[in-house]
């Protein structure tokens, strides 16, 4: 049984998710921690809950979702997992950071590429990888069928959908994917 803890990080107000099970294993999705105190907040929750981070995942690689990749990877010795089509966005993110006046140092480790249908196991719990491009070219979502929840990144918001005016965005593709993947008319 997975529990979900969310954080809101950086001036962009990005949602970072931490999923953990009864064995205290956890995975970290889209660490958007930008300021040192945000890194400390994430680390404090993990330490105080005695969690053992097992995976670092990105739904997509707009800068606000990748600020904390380097910190998380180095602190818990994790390899970043993402869709291959997000790699150019990841590479571009520090340049984008300069444009937004939010400089940061990118993750520089190895990559594990995810694709539709991949199953991510955390102990006995499963997440299915769903591809939902449009907001970004290789956007993926993590669906927990057993508990009926989805970590949808920037595809869906409360009563809204993701913006498509950023590099690699495509509005029609996003709408098509939301209709087909999430069954919303």
- DSSP state letters, 108-164: -S-EEEE-TT-EEEETTEEEEEEE--SSSTT-EEEEETTTTEEE-TTSEETTEE---
CB of 87 to Zn ion, least distance (A): 15
CB of 119 to Zn ion, least distance (A): 24
Candidates 13-21, 48-56, 60-68, 173-181; binding stretch for Zn ion (CB under 5 A): 60-68
Token pair 């949808």 in the structure block, residue: 152
Give the CA distances from residue 31 to residues 42, 58, 153, 161, 181, in Å, rounded to whole numbers and listed in that order. 9, 8, 11, 21, 25
30 binds Zn ion (CB under 5 A): no
CB of 59 to Zn ion, least distance (A): 8
Cα separation, 85 vs 42, in Å, equals 28
154 binds Zn ion (CB under 5 A): yes
Candidates 12-20, 123-131, 150-158, 176-184; binding stretch for Zn ion (CB under 5 A): 150-158
Query: 85: helix, coil or strand?
Result: helix
Cα separation, 84 vs 61, in Å, equals 11
CB of 92 to Zn ion, least distance (A): 13
Residue nearer to Zn ion on the CB measure, 147 or 164 = 164
Give the total residue count for the chain.
185
- Exactly one of 27, 29, 56, 62 binds Zn ion (CB under 5 A); that residue is 62
Residue nearer to Zn ion on the CB measure, 53 or 134 = 134
Contact positions vs Zn ion (CB under 5 A):
62, 154
């Amino acid at each position: 049984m997975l529990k979900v803890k969310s954080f809101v990080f950086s001036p962009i107000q990005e949602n970072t998710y931490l999923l953990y099970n009864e064995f205290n294993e956890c995975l970290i999705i889209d660490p958007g921690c930008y300021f040192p105190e945000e890194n400390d907040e994430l680390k404090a929750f993990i330490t105080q809950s005695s969690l053992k981070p097992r995976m670092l995942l990105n739904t997509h690689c707009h800068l606000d979702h990748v600020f904390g990749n380097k910190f998380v990877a180095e602190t818990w010795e994790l390899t970043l997992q993402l869709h291959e089509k997000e790699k150019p966005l990841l590479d571009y993110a520090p340049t984008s950071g300069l444009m937004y006046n939010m400089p940061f140092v990118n993750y520089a480790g190895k990559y594990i590429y995810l694709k539709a249908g991949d199953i991510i196991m955390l102990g006995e719990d499963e997440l299915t990888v769903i591809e939902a491009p449009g907001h970004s070219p290789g956007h993926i979502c993590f669906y927990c069928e057993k508990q009926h929840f989805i970590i949808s990144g920037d595809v869906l918001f409360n009563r809204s959908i993701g913006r498509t005016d950023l590099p690699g965005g495509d509005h029609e593709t996003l709408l098509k994917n939301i209709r087909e993947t999430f069954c919303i008319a």
